[in-house]
Amino acid sequence: MSFIEESLSSGEEIVAIFRLHWVSRIPLALFIVLGPVTLGVMWLVAIYEYLRLRAIEQGVTNKRVIFKTGIIGRKSEEMKLTSIETVEIEQGVLGRMFNFGNVKITGRGTSDLAFKGINDPMSVKRQIESVSNPVA
């Protein structure tokens, strides 16, 4: 069971789970390829990178936006939908070509939450905004 599923409160439902783009796995592939050259040392780094990427959970429920990371320890960042002020997209040239980027959610005060290397950031932005600002 995922962290997001475990942390649901009563009446809360998962609206969307956001996946990392395949580009975020390029360092993992490089570490695997460099394994034989470094006598297996990079394979240890590759195992860590694999576990780190698997431990990332990003999603939106009908009450909040959630970002969780951590292999053994856990760090989660959450923002209530009622606190969201803006949802911004950051995409470079490669991000536009391959449809990946960062989604930054700004809340009241100084709170920010960022999904980095996310697949289809425009869709993520629309999903968050459709839940946080439902059409009456």
pLDDT number for residue 136 = 53
pLDDT number for residue 135 = 61
Radius of gyration of the chain (CA): 17
The arithmetic mean of pLDDT across residues 107-130, rounded, is: 92
CA distances from 4 to 16, 68, 76, 127 (A): 11, 8, 10, 17
Whether the pLDDT of residue 22 is over 80: the answer is yes
Residue 113, amino acid = L
pLDDT in tens, 64-111: 999 999 999 999 999 999 999 999 999 999 999 999 999 999 998 778
Q: Is 70 or 135 the better-scoring residue by pLDDT?
A: 70
Query: Which one, of 105, 106, 99, lies nearest residue 122 by Cα?
Result: 99
First to last CA, the chain: 34
The three-class DSSP label of residue 4 is: helix
The arithmetic mean of pLDDT across residues 118-136, rounded, is: 88
Other Cβ atoms within 10 Å of 45 Cβ, number:
17
β-pair partners for 52: none
**pLDDT, averaged across the chain:** 94
Q: Is 135 or 51 the better-scoring residue by pLDDT?
A: 51
pLDDT number for residue 42 = 96
What pTM does this model have? Answer: 0.89
